[in-house]
Structure 1
Amino acid sequence: MTRRRFVGLVPGLALVVAGCGQSTTGPVEVKWGRDTCDYCGMVIGEPRFAAQLRAGTNHKVYKFDDLGDAILFLVKQDWAAHPATEFWVGHMETGAWIDGFKAFYKGGQRTPMAHGFGALPAAADGLLEYDRFKGAIVVRGSTSRCETGAVQG
């Protein structure tokens, strides 16, 4: 009888163990108010302006408190152009994750690190496509709160 109970538990145990593995694609859970930005070290607390990068080479996930910090981090990585690299950003109205490479960006936002951009999933007048958004962040990068030393991690 004891053996029968043990055998009955093994399949369930296998399911639990298999469910614990990490995915190699998509955004991961953020512990809001506890996880810290991989660029500036600040606590990530605002889903509407947070971002994640998943390295295309090893699928490692990096988390950010501001979309701009993610871009400034990304442009320094040798895996930035890898076709499997993923960029996930918070929808500026709902906080839901959207594909950052396909998103459209609205300037003039009050964001955690003052980069000033929020992301939306659909094009509209006045919004920037990813490449123009990235260019604006890189040009202004040296004046961000992280880059000037106004924030210490």
Structure 2
Amino acid sequence: MKKVLIAIPLLLLAGCFEPETGPGQIRYDRDTCEICRMIISDPRFGTQVRHGPDKELVKFDDIGDALHWVEENGHRDDPDLEIWVPDMDRPDTWLEARQAHYLAGQVTPMDYGYGALSTARDGSVSYEEMRTGVLARGVTSRCDTPNDPTHDHDHDHDHNSGTGT
């Protein structure tokens, strides 16, 4: 009986932690994007990145923000890197991003426009094609980075110019 009483709290406590690999849980309408700090609200496009030896989990509202974060933080060649995206047709199904196919022209939270699919479809592209397009485009104008103390929000400007003016 004592073993059962000890085992029950341990099982309950174990359920409070995220797994060490694979996708975690996004609490939609509560969790925020690591880059833009907007609330993650659309289950079709929320993205998760696991990185480093501790398998830290970072969440994003759009695959584009996740890809820029991976590049900017030096995780591109991280052997422990995992990127998880939902199948836009079945948002409760997580896909390893580098194995997924992407359909452009979607209305996504940060306007990168790509939705992930588990199988190829007419017009879909590979991860590398999608990644190249996202990085070439730069950070979307919908994604001001609030952590930049030099960023002036009182004027119109092109986020891709690098001048801040």
Whole-Å separation in 1 of the counterparts to 2:88 and 2:56: 24
Whole-Å separation in 2 of the counterparts to 1:32 and 1:138: 26
Contact 2:110 2:140 (8 Å CA) reproduced: no
Deviates more, 1:131-140 or 1:15-24: 15-24
Larger Rg, first or second structure (1 or 2) = 1
Q: Does 1:36 align with 2:32?
A: yes
Aligned amino acid, residue 142 of structure 2: R
Aligned amino acid, residue 108 of structure 1: G
Whole-Å separation in 2 of the counterparts to 1:18 and 1:50: 25
Whole-Å separation in 1 of the counterparts to 2:14 and 2:71: 35
Q: Show the counterpart of 1:68.
A: 64
TM-score with structure 2 setting the length: 0.79
- Count how many residue pairs are aligned between Structure 1 and Structure 2: 145
Structure-2 change in CA distance of 1:8 and 1:71 (3 Å): closer
Whole-Å separation in 2 of the counterparts to 1:20 and 1:89: 22
**Counting helix residues as a fraction of each chain, which structure ranks higher?**
1
The alignment partner of 1:119 has SS state of strand
Whole-Å separation in 1 of the counterparts to 2:75 and 2:140: 25
Structure 1 residue runs without a partner (length 5+): none
Structure-2 change in CA distance of 1:116 and 1:7 (3 Å): closer
TM-score with structure 1 setting the length: 0.85
State the shift of 1:139 in Å: 0.7
RMSD: 1.9
Identity %: 38
Q: Show the counterpart of 2:102.
A: 105
Deviates more, 1:71-80 or 1:102-111: 71-80
Aligned amino acid, residue 10 of structure 2: A
Q: Show the counterpart of 1:57.
A: 53
Contact 1:36 1:63 (8 Å CA) reproduced: yes
Structure-2 change in CA distance of 1:107 and 1:25 (3 Å): same
The alignment partner of 2:130 has SS state of helix
